[in-house]
Amino acid sequence: MGFLYIYGKKQLREIDRRVRYLEKRLDQCTIVDRLPIDRGIVFFGAWVTLEDEDGNLERYRIVGPDEIDHHEAYISMDSPVAKALLKRRDGDEVVLRRVGGDRTFFIEQIEYLEP
């Protein structure tokens, strides 16, 4: 019986810690419930299609750090790639640092989905 009590208290502490963490995250969250006025600029929530010098396309969506696990194309707004893209325009050239070296991309398309 003592083991179950100790185990239960440990689980309760872990749950309490997680609840405190989530409460802090909620306080820091900002709800984005409208599209930007200028949809030709990369902001939070944008789907950005990049084209490299060989014509290969890559598509990403800039999301909050808590959303990146929902889709393989989602990148955190805190990531180096997202930071390089934010506030850029259609046709802009962007140099991204990759493991294999720097690569140059052009912003091919910026899309926003209705909330």
Q: Count other Cβ atoms within 10 Å, centred on residue 72.
A: 8
**Which one, of 114, 111, 115, lies nearest residue 90 by Cα?**
111
pLDDT at 25: 78
pLDDT at 21: 87
CA distances to 24, 54, 82, 96, 106 from 49, in Å: 33, 14, 12, 14, 9
pLDDT at 115: 57
Q: pLDDT for 6-62, tens place per residue? A: 888 899 999 999 999 888 877 777 776 777 777 889 998 899 999 999 999 999 999
pLDDT at 69: 74
3 vs 91, residue with greater confidence:
91
Cβ atoms of 37 and 51 within 8 Å: the answer is no
Q: Give the side-chain half-sphere CA count within 13 A for 107.
A: 24
SS in 3 state form for 66-106? CCHHHCCCEEECCCHHHHHHCCCECCCEEEEEECCEEEEEE
> Which residue in this structure is represented by tokens 């083991």?
3
Q: pLDDT for 71-106, tens place per residue? A: 888 999 989 999 999 999 999 999 988 888 888 999
